[in-house]
Amino acid sequence: MILILIVIIIVPMAIFLYPKNAGSTCGFCPGAPSIVRTEYGCMGVKYDYYPTGCMDCGTSILCSGIVTSEKKCYTYANKVKVEVPNCENPKTWQEVLDISPDFYIEAATFAYSAGEIEQAKTICKSRAVSEEKVNCLSRLYMSAMAKGNDSENAKEFCYALSDYNQTCLNELSRIIARSDIETSVDICKDIKDAISMNKCYYNAAMQAVNTNKTRALEICGMIDDAKKFNPTCEEYIESPSTYPDMQDRGFIY
C-alpha cells in the first residue's frame, strides 16, 4: 500500500518536474533589434540550458513544470533584455524605437533604407551625447558610400556630420573627384581645417590633371602652402609621369 502511494506521488511529480522545452535563443542571430530569444510561460521553474560543447546553436529554455501557451520574444539593447512587441521583427524606424531608444542607429538605418533621409538625420541628431550623434551619422554615411551609387545621400550625411567631425568631407571629395571635379572642389571649400582643406585641393588637382591641366593648376593655386607637399601640387601637375606612383598609392591624407 505504501509503495502504491509512493508511486502515485512520485510519478506525477517526476512528470511535472521533468524539463520541457519552453523556448530558445538562436545561434548566429541577425543583428539587433531582430528577435534573438523566444520564451513560453512556465508554471514552475524556468531556466536556460547550455548544451555541452555547443558553440553555435544558442541555448534551450527549459521549464520544470507546465509549459503554457503564453509566448514572448526578446532582443538585447546594451546587454539588457527588452521585449519585442507581438513577437514580430520591426519593419519601420518607429517600430525599432518602440523596442528601445538605444536602437537609434538601427532606427536611422531603417529610415535611410526607406528613403526617409531627413528623418534618418533627425534620429541621429536627437541624441544628447555628441559621440552618439557622430557614430550614428557616420554609420549612415558609410552605408551610403558602400552602395557605390548613392553619393548624393552620402553628401547629405557627411554635411550633417561635419558639424561634429569633418573627416568625411575630405574622403567624400576624394571619391567624387574621380567623376566630378567641380563638386569635389566645392566640398573642399567647406572644410574648416586649413591642413585638411589643402590636402583636399591637392587630391582634386591630382584628378583634374587627367582631363584639364589648366583647371588642375588653378586648383593648385587654392592651396595656402603648397610647399609642404612633396612633390608640390604644381610640380606634379607639370610632370605627373615623373611621379608614377602618386595615383597608384592613393591620395594625400
Give yes or no for residue 246 having a pLDDT over 60: yes
Please report the pLDDT score of residue 230 as a whole number.
Answer: 81
Please report the pLDDT score of residue 242 as a whole number.
Answer: 81
- Identity of the amino acid at 87: C
In 51-163, beta strands by DSSP E: 59-77, 80-83
Please report the pLDDT score of residue 9 as a whole number.
Answer: 62
Confidence class of residue 41 from pLDDT cuts 50, 70 and 90?
A: very high
For residue 124, what are the contacts with CB-CB under 8 A and spacing of at least 6?
Answer: 104, 105, 108, 133, 136, 137, 140, 160
Please report the pLDDT score of residue 181 as a whole number.
Answer: 92
**pLDDT above 90 as % of the chain:** 44
Higher pLDDT, 28 or 183: 183
Cα separation, 104 vs 90, in Å, equals 13
Higher pLDDT, 220 or 210: 220
The mean pLDDT value of the chain amounts to 85
Please report the pLDDT score of residue 245 as a whole number.
Answer: 66
pLDDT tens by residue, 73-131: 999 888 899 999 999 999 999 999 999 999 999 999 999 999 999 999 999 999 999 89
Q: CA–CA distance from 25 to each of 32, 42, 117 (Å)?
A: 13, 16, 34
User: C-alpha 186: how far from its chain's center?
Assistant: 28
Give yes or no for residue 166 having a pLDDT over 60: yes
The answer to whether the CB of 233 falls within 8 A of the CB of 201 is: yes
Q: Is the dihedral of CA 253, 209, 239, 247 positive or negative?
A: positive
Q: What are the beta bridge partners of residue 81?
A: 76
Give yes or no for residue 132 having a pLDDT over 50: yes
Please report the pLDDT score of residue 151 as a whole number.
Answer: 81
Give yes or no for residue 251 having a pLDDT over 60: no
Please report the pLDDT score of residue 249 as a whole number.
Answer: 43
Other CB atoms closer than 10 Å to residue 72's CB: what's the count? 15
Cα separation, 99 vs 31, in Å, equals 14
Please report the pLDDT score of residue 107 as a whole number.
Answer: 97
β-strands 19-25, 37-49 pairing:
antiparallel
